[in-house]
Amino acid sequence: MTPYFSTSLGRLYQGNALAVLNELDPESVDVCFTSPPYWGLRNYGTEPQIWDGDPECAHVWGDEIPGRRWGNAENLCGIQATIAGSRSNIEAMESGHGAFCQSCGAWRGDLGMEPSPSLLVRHLADIFDKVRRCLKPSGALWIDIGDSYAGSGGAGGDWKHGRKRREVKWRQPKQVEVPRKSRCAVPERIVVEMLDRGWCYRNHCIWEKDNVRPESALDRFTQNFDDVFFFTLCEKYYFKTQREDFAAGKPSPRAQLRVSQRSGRPCKINHEGRIARAIWKIYNPGFSEAHTATFPTELLAKPLAATLPPGGVVLDPFLGSGTTAEFAERIGARWIGIELSTANCEIIRERVEWEARQLKLDIGEEAAA
């Protein structure tokens, strides 16, 4: 398998995450950190992919959903009505909405543009099953994921240089599986699905965003955080305990005494600080050359400091604008990235090459000093 480009530390592969993960060596990755597409929020203008069904099928595409393969009757009727109400199957395909094979039940479309949240969750879990194959037994999986609201409008266009390049025809279904205006609970659904598939769910961390985008809804609170889930393959795995400063100084002697009385043993204070908490307040500077769904390098720093062993490999199957690759290059870690969009692959190349040039300049300045 030929990479789109490579460096001395890492390599980028262009293609569908499922297909590329199948080609990677088993048990070759120490950490996977990724931020998959959210449901129904954005279309990145990539070629629609075929999901599920029979790979040997000739595929006869249509709007009908083979009932034997899709959820309960109520959900089926909701999805069916949404697709039947679209102007045409051709328009749906142009916008990334997709279509269903009348023979095997496969779905054709862009990840994140599924007609229901549960279908996205299943596709993501299928991808993470492939990630499991690549992880070492001591490895870790981190998922940064946000949620969306039913009937909130849907995809907002594909992005280039921070601006919309064209509008997308497809709009999010007005009612699918949950009532209109309800959160779709995609993060919670992912956790349940991953548990059902045998993953060990170790942490639910919160990325609190200082500079969250304003929301127009006046009848609820503004959502200013993403969920960051930490999964492992088993109960024994690599983890370096992270510590932080005590919030209000070290515990007082009186507080230490109370702890000792409750536990029945002396209270020992670790002078390096307390064990790091799971709510992370991190500013996101964004990245003007790419789509808006970027995350800051500081969000990577905490998980990788804890779960990436020296000399380890970090994987991102949805590399997007390349933050994981850029940060790995900065800290001298080996990395593997997967990205479907050609435009994003070029952005990743530019970011990684720029980071490499900066490191060379820094090394040169240190040598001169």
Give the pLDDT band of residue 163 (cuts 50, 70, 90): very low
Rounded to a whole number of angstroms, the CA Rg of the chain reads 23
Name the range with the highest mean pLDDT among 166-175, 331-340, 352-361.
Answer: 331-340
Residue 249's pLDDT is 58
On whether the CB atoms of residues 313 and 277 are closer than 8 A, the answer is no
* pLDDT tens-place string over residues 212-222: 778 888 999 98
Domain limits of the chain?
A: 5-41+113-234+279-368, 47-109
pLDDT of residue 71: 42
> Above 50 in pLDDT, residue 88?
no
Helix (H, G, I), strand (E, B) or coil at 355: helix
5-41+113-234+279-368: CATH class: alpha beta
- The pTM (predicted TM-score) of the whole model is 0.82
Which runs of consecutive H residues, i.e. helices, occur in the chain?
A: 17-23, 73-84, 89-94, 117-134, 186-196, 253-263, 297-307, 323-331, 342-368
Q: Quote the percentage of the chain above a pLDDT of 70.
A: 72
pLDDT of 347 above 70: yes
Which residue would you say has higher pLDDT here, 300 or 256?
300
d(CA 124, CA 231): 14
pLDDT at position 66, please? Answer: 63
The amino acid that residue 110 corresponds to is D
CB contact burial 301-317 (16+ within 10 A = b; e otherwise): ebbbebbbeeebbbbbb
Residue appearing with tokens 């070759």: 28
Query: Nearest 5°: CA angle at 143, between 141 and 145?
Result: 170
- The CA dihedral of 77, 146, 181, 172, to the nearest 10 degrees, is -50
Task: Report pLDDT digits (tens) over 172-186.
Answer: 544 457 888 899 999
Q: Could you tell me if 102 and 69 are in contact, meaning their C-beta atoms sit under 8 angstroms apart?
A: no
Instruction: Mean pLDDT check: name the lowest of 112-116, 243-247, 361-365.
Output: 361-365
Please, which pLDDT band fits residue 125 given cuts at 50, 70 and 90? very high
Residue 33 backbone dihedrals phi, psi, to 5 degrees: -120, 125
